[in-house]
Amino acid sequence: MFPISILLTNGKRLEDTIFSGVASLIKSGMTGIAIIIFTASIIVPVAKILGLGFILFCIHTRNRIYQRFEMKLYGIVQWIGKWSMMDLFVIALMVALIDRGQILDFTPGPGAVAFGLVVVLTMLAAESLDSRLIWDKNE
């Protein structure tokens, strides 16, 4: 929803959200890169939030059916969390490489800040979850 990047070129301001960036990559024939960005920017964060929500729901309801699945899901959420920083790394590289003053200027938009917060908060949530709670619910 929020622009993740703002590009000023020749006096024109171009704001791109993640969806508009993916759409423009597909229109320019870069479908592979568009799939990677869509996966890393949309699917991975949503999957992390849903995965953590499912684990917390099962812990709260003391559901004993999915314990092995919960542990595998917890491992996946922790592992994939580190790769979520890739988008922020790309934005940082773009700012460093494209900023050319009056002719061309690239700045991160408010969507980059929101995305960064989601990445950091989901990483902290995964790290602070005590996995022993999944097995302790048997008692």
Q: Where are the domains of the chain?
A: 5-136
pLDDT of 100 > 70? The answer is no
Q: How confident is the model at residue 98 (pLDDT cuts 50, 70, 90)?
A: low
pLDDT of 104 > 60? The answer is yes
Average pLDDT of 80-97? 70
Q: Is 78 exposed, middle or buried (0-12, 13-18, 19+ CB in 10 A)?
A: middle
Q: Which residues on adjacent β-strands are paired with residue 101?
A: none
Write the pLDDT tens digit of every residue in 32-85: 888 888 888 888 888 889 989 998 888 888 777 778 888 888 888 888 877 777
Residue 71: per-residue pLDDT: 86
Strand order, beta sheet including 12-16: 12-16, 5-9, 104-108
11 φ/ψ sector (left φ>0, alpha ψ -120 to 50, else beta): left
Structure tokens at 13: 């301001």
Q: Is 22 exposed, middle or buried (0-12, 13-18, 19+ CB in 10 A)?
A: buried
Q: Can you give the pTM of this predicted structure?
A: 0.74
Which one-letter amino acid corresponds to residue 7? L
Write the pLDDT tens digit of every residue in 108-132: 788 888 888 888 888 888 888 887 8
